[in-house]
Copies of this chain bind each other. A is one copy, B any other.
Amino acid sequence: MTTQQLHQNILDKKSFLCIGLDADLNKIPPHLLATEDPIFEFNKAIIDATHDLAVAYKPNTAFFEAYGLKGWLSLEKTINYINHMHPEIFTIADAKRGDIGNTSTMYAKAFLEDLNFDSVTVAPYMGKDSVEPFLAFKNKFAIMLALTSNEGAFDFQTKIVDGEELYKTVLKTSKTWKNSENLMYVVGATKAEYFTEIRKIVPESFLLVPGVGAQGGSLQEVCKYGMSKNVGLLINSSRGIIYASNGNDFAEKAREEALKMQQEMAALL
């Protein structure tokens, strides 16, 4: 998918909502546990109920690896289901990978070619040669951690390096890498006041924004400071949508929460 197509989908759906598919067997509706593949059945129901309201789905690989072989199968079925039923939806493997060059190439192929995700999240600590292998795929993206939504973000990301915060150095440095036009960035909504500065460095890049809702970030604030000409935002919600209910009505309630967010977004576009 190109960013132009992603932008068009946002305009068509009046939404820049990304739904995090983080299915946890301890939290999904108990009646699903009797099915052969509860994780996939849960994801499928969420996708069926929300696909017209979301422009992106983001399965976090941890929630699949936690179930070993069965989990990996659920991940394959989930991405195949999205790609088959809703090929216009942007898909993100939230894997936060990063390793030396030849090893990053293995990860990149696994997620961007074999599983056919549109994008994968990556960690910046190992630098250029750990990220560039993810940028070598036409119309695919690496979404690099810049400023995350968790408390630990202040441990290193906001430390001052050469007169500015580390996350700014990370953003600026990454723009010099090969195929850097295939980069997007993770920026937490809990730090909305930082978006103005970030937009000075990456005015047009898409930003994947976790932390609205459960983690306390404000959608209005993020849009005020973070929206670009082509919108440039994918606002993620996971728990607030997928665990809106754990009864038989979980998919319906998930749709209600997604609809609330989509309507807020439509008003902000």
Contact = CB atoms under 8 A, between A and B. Distances in A.
* Copy count, this protein chain: 2
Given A124-B156, A125-B157, A156-B170, 19 more contacts: A62-B97, A62-B104, A62-B107, A65-B107, A65-B110, A66-B109, A66-B114, A68-B76, A68-B114, A100-B210, A123-B123, A127-B153, A129-B150, A129-B151, A159-B161, A159-B162, A159-B169, A160-B162, A166-B166
Contacts of A98: 96, 123
A119 interface: no
A153 B124 CA distance: 10
A65 to B, nearest CB: 5
Interface of A: 22, 24, 60, 62-63, 65-66, 68-69, 72-73, 76, 94, 96-101, 103-104, 106-107, 109-110, 114-115, 123-131, 145, 148-157, 159-162, 166, 169-170, 173, 210
Residue among A94, A103, A145 with the most chain B CB within 10 A?
A103
A130 B125 CA distance: 14
A98 B154 CA distance: 15
A33 B124 CA distance: 35
Nearest to A97: B96
Given A96-B98, A103-B63, A110 B161 contact: no
A209 to B, nearest CB: 14
Contacts of A60: 99, 103
Contacts of A22: 103
